[in-house]
Amino acid sequence: MHLDHVGVATDDAAELAALFVELFDTEIAHEETFDGMHVVFLDGGGDEDDGPYLELLEPLTDDGAVAQFLDREGAGLHHVAVATGDITAALETAEKMGIETVDDEPRPGAWGHEVAFLHPGPTGGVLVEFVEH
């Protein structure tokens, strides 16, 4: 496994992307509207297909998980995503370790990848996302 991306919740992904593009001398690697969010991935300087990326998450509705996070916590770090070649095995490992999952089964994520999340309690307060490309 390796670091795929770090997700940041924001009220304005385009504005934050423009700031980070200039500040970090990087570029937008991918952008889409997905699952009620405007999602922007910034190039983190790694392999073009494997990241790492900085993912900016802007909710477009008031009822999604990221919108609720912004209401509760404000803008900032939302999750850390780790790439895996076998997301089902990664979930099974977490469950065997007693780590509660948000997703019992992988689900479609941005960029057409399969994703699954772990509850942050047992992972040091960090929302962890598994990503299978």
Q: What is the pLDDT of residues 44-94, one digit of tens each?
A: 987 666 779 999 999 999 999 999 999 999 999 999 999 999 999 999 999
| Interatomic CA distance for residues 12 and 14, integer angstroms | 6
Please tell me whether residue 48 adopts helix, strand or coil conformation: coil
pTM: predicted TM-score of the whole model, two decimal places: 0.94
Residue showing tokens 């929302």 = 127
Nearest Cα neighbor of 35 from 68, 10, 58, 9 is 58
Are 133 and 49 contacting, i.e. CB atoms less than 8 angstroms apart? yes
Structural contact between residues 67 and 59, judged by C-beta atoms closer than 8 angstroms: yes
What does the block give as tokens for 111? Answer: 């960029």
Task: Give the pLDDT score at 50.
Answer: 72
* pLDDT value of position 58: 98
Mean pLDDT (the chain, rounded): 95
Q: Which domains are present in the chain?
A: 2-132 (3.10.180.10)
Report the pLDDT value the prediction gives residue 49, as an integer from 0 to 100: 65
Residue 109, SS3 per DSSP:
coil
Other CB atoms within 10 A of residue 21 CB: 15
The structure tokens 């790492």 sit at 52
